Structure 1
């Protein structure tokens, strides 16, 4: 691991915040690192307000989208709400379809089959719309690159409204309206919304025409918060406000589908991290193992008992997904070990029998071990399909763009993408991808980096300090849980390995006779020798709470030790 201490902000700025906010230097430093320089900035950060949600009509084409939906309602047309099969897509479809059904009945939902249709707007989906006399399709979390599919729909007199947040290609589809804050010609003030966030802007616009305020749409924010967490978009600006209030809904008045999942957990209050690691994988499992529409059914069901039945089915999918994930990851490791004839800058593996629904998870697992831009391929019909994941600081989407002569289709983000290609082009693509990454990546990026906010003394970690840190949440990209470094630590003699495989490290640390504080380091068991025998060591960690037998204490969540 590379330990990188963030630069210290300018002293006069620290002193200003210490003075106006009456906080200590560490808290002032953390705020400045997040771009918060004034009392007003801090007030907006610590007290998010729905008043700061942007006007949806600032988004390019929003007026066209609302006008077309209103026309469909007036004329009694059938509307189809269409979304991708991942968490962002299924929550988007649940959100827009359930809102539309409060004002209009002729609304159908559609999630493409991952295996039959693949990602995004499909010809099969458009044929389904034609067969069912549907004349308006609203796509969510997909569609921005579907030039040929939109043209196909237009031939059938089916209008398309695209709601997406992915980067557009060189040509925009000829849709009735395209809502995408990443359009070059869109001046919406915040361009990091997830797909469900764009969907929320659409219902916000529709609601404003009906005299509804943002408060009336509050119950939908649990879906938005879940998508924000799962899709790994920045937790800044409008996303942070939407996530903040969405977590309130999840914890105080969750929809039946969420409640059915949450009731299985023995936790009083969920954080967005719980949403990412507990709720999101279950919603995702439906589309990975069976059909994403099951997730939409769960998220739109109002009867708790029925929702519990849906949740039980999805739990079965999630168990199957975990087993497949483990099996394929093991096989991928074996394949990589066989291929290690030379130093490579990428990890690219392929097996025609791997389950398409879990290759993205497997790619993430491989990054954890090999820390290289990674692609996991499997057979999909008569083509190969892959999930791409990247290391911090390297844009895998741009790298794929430079290899597109070998690719049929690709799309995604800086750190996660998907693509398809012909099987005979696999080796040529693999070689081209390796060459592009080799020639463009900063070699330092191939060693995982821990960004450290500040070096502090253990004595600074008090209940009051932790109460302030908790107010920095919800945490996510560009607003990660603060990471600290402390030096010259010693274990009090209680250090040991814990866990079924004894791969986790438990310590009790002191610093220059300070009060001892416990620490837990997951997958850091191999570092035990570094902290034994009163050795001095440095540690990087975040601060969290440990609950044991009803007693809550502060602890260090260790990230690395040296």
Structure 2
């Protein structure tokens, strides 16, 4: 691991904020590093309110979208709410459909089959709309590149409203409205919304049109927070506001579907991290193993008993998903080792019978192992389908764009993407992708990085500091939990390995004559010898609270140690 210590901001700027907020230098420095430099910005950061949300009509085409929906309602048209099969897509479909159904009955939902139809808007979905006399489709978390599909729908007298957050291509579909803050001609103040977030802006605009306030929409924010967590979008700006209030809903009054998923979790307060690792994988498992419709059924069910039945089924899908991704990861790792591909700049593996629903998870596991841009392919009909994952600061979408001649279609973000290609093109694509990455990636990016906010002494860790750090939540991209470094610390003789395979490391550390702190290093079990010797060592860590038998104490979550 390489440790990268962030450069300290200008001292005058830190001192000014210190004086205005009456906080210590550590807190002021962390705020300035996050772009929070004034009293007003600090107030918004620490005390976000729903008033901080932007006017939805600032988004290009929002007026067209609202007018078309209102016209459909006025004329009694049938409306189809269409979305992708992942967490972002299924939460977005659940959000928009349940809001519209609260005052209009002619609403149906459609999630494409991952295996039969693939990602995004499908011809089969459009045919379903035509067969059922639906004249308006609202597409969520997809559609920005579906030019041919929208043309096909237009020929059948079906209008499209597209709500997406992926990067557009050179041309936009000929839809009634294309809501996407990443459009070049869209001046909306915040462009990091997830698909469900764009869906929320749509219902916010509809609500304004019906003289409702944003307070009327708070019950829907559990869905938005779940999508924000699952889609790994920045926890800044509007996302921070939506995530904060959405987490409050999850913890106080969640919809029955989410309540059914978390009712056996023995935690008083669920965090964004819990949403990422507990709620999101279960919702995702429906689309990976069975069908995304199961997730929508769960998230739009208002009877708790029935929601518990749906949640139980999804729990089984999640167990099946775990077994599959474990087995495929073993096979993929063997393929890399057998083919002596360890020295490449990329990992590209393929086996025709790998389960399409878990190749994204496998790509993430392989990226963790070899730490380089990774693509996992499987057979899908008469083509190959793949999921790609990247390493920090390398844009895999741009790399795929440079290999576009070998691909049939692709889409995604900087760190995650999906694609299809014809099997005959696989060898050429694999080599082209290797060359593009080799020629564009900085060697540093192939070594896992721990970004360190500040070097501090253990004596500076106080209950007051911990209380203030908790107010930095919710954490996520561009507002990660602060990482600290302390030098020349030592274990007091209590170091021991933990876990079934001794993979973790438990310590009690001091620095000079400082107060001691309990410390846990997940995955650092192999470094016990470094700690047990009387040598001093450096550590990078986050500061947590540990609750045991009703007692709360400060604990350091150690990310790495070095002599």
Indicate whether the TM-score tops 0.5: yes
Q: Give the Cα–Cα distance (whole angstroms) in 2 for the partners of residues 552 and 313 of structure 1.
A: 36
SS of 1:487's partner is: strand
Indicate how the Cα distance of structure 1 residues 506 and 96 shifts in structure 2: closer, same or farther if over 3 A, else same. same
Deviation, structure 1 residue 549: 2.3
Match of 2:291 in 1: 291
Structure 2 counterpart of 1:531: 531
Mapped to 2, the partners of 1:358 and 1:343 lie a distance apart of: 25
Q: How does 1:42-121 map to 2 (within 5 A)?
A: 42-121=42-121
Q: Distance in 2 between matches of 1:458 and 1:339?
A: 48
Q: Partner residue of 2:441?
A: 441
CA shift digits 1:446-480 (9 cap, x unpaired)? 00111000001111112111110000010000000
Alignment partner, residue 456 of structure 1: 456
Residue in structure 2 matched with residue 20 of structure 1 by the alignment: 20
TM-score by length of 1: 0.99
Distance (Å, rounded) in 1 between the aligned partners of 2:379 and 2:365: 20
Alignment partner, residue 366 of structure 1: 366
**Map of 1:405 onto structure 2:** 405
Contact 1:452 1:540 in 2 (8 A): yes
Distance 2:460 2:160 in 1: 56
Contact preservation (8 Å) 2:397, 2:417: yes
Where 1:259 maps in the other structure, the secondary structure is helix
Unaligned runs of 5+ in 2: none
Per the alignment, residue 486 of structure 1 pairs with 486
2:264 and 2:141 map into 1 onto residues whose CA distance is: 29
C-alpha contact (below 8 Å) 1:257/1:301 kept by paired residues:
yes
CA shift, 1:138, in A, is: 0.2
- TM-score, L = length of structure 2: 0.99
- Provide the rounded CA distance (Å) in 1 between the counterparts of 2:250 and 2:375: 34
Partner of residue 417, structure 1: 417
What do residues 99-142 of structure 1 show as CA deviations (whole Å, max 9, x unaligned)?
A: 00011000000000000000000000001111111110000000
Aligned partners of 1:186 and 1:101: how far apart in 2? 29
CA contact (8 A) 2:166 2:180 kept: yes
- Whether the 8 Å contact between 1:412 and 1:418 is mirrored in structure 2 is yes
In 1, the alpha carbon distance for the partners of 2:103 and 2:89 equals: 22
For residue 435 of structure 1, give the secondary structure of its aligned residue in structure 2: helix
**2:475 is equivalent to residue 475 of structure 1:** yes
Q: Aligned equivalents of 1:343 and 1:286: distance in 2?
A: 36
Which ranges in structure 1 are unaligned for 5 or more consecutive residues?
none
The reply on whether 1:40 has 2:40 as its aligned counterpart is: yes
Q: Secondary structure at the match of 2:513?
A: coil
Once superposed, which parts of structure 1, at least 4 consecutive aligned residues long, lie more than 4 Å away? none
Alignment of 1:151-550 (within 5 A): 151-340=151-340, 343-550=343-550
Deviation at 1:92, TM superposition (A): 0.1
Q: CA deviation at 1:546?
A: 1.5
Shift of 1:341: 5.0
Q: How many positions carry a matched residue from both structures? A: 562
Aligned equivalents of 2:372, 2:339: Cα separation in 1: 15
Q: 8 Å contact 2:336–2:342 — kept in the other structure?
A: no
Q: 3-state SS of the aligned residue for 1:199?
A: helix
Check conservation: 1:261, 1:311, Cα contact below 8 A. yes
The CA distance in 2 between the partners of 1:420 and 1:547, in whole Å, is 47
Q: Secondary structure at the match of 1:279?
A: helix
Residue in 2 aligned with 1:5? Answer: 5
Q: CA deviation at 1:261?
A: 1.0
Offset, 1:535: 1.5
Shift of 1:342: 6.4
1:399 aligned counterpart, secondary structure: helix
**1:41 Cα offset (Å):** 0.8
SS of the aligned residue for 2:544 comes to strand
Partners of 2:56 and 2:474 in 1: how far apart? 23
Match of 2:325, SS state, is helix
* CA RMSD, 1 decimal: 0.7
* 8 Å contact from structure 1 (residues 493, 533) kept in 2: no
Q: Is the contact between residue 113 and residue 292 of structure 1 (CA under 8 Å) also seen in structure 2?
A: yes
- Partners of 2:174 and 2:297 in 1: CA distance: 31
Partner SS, residue 197 of structure 2: helix
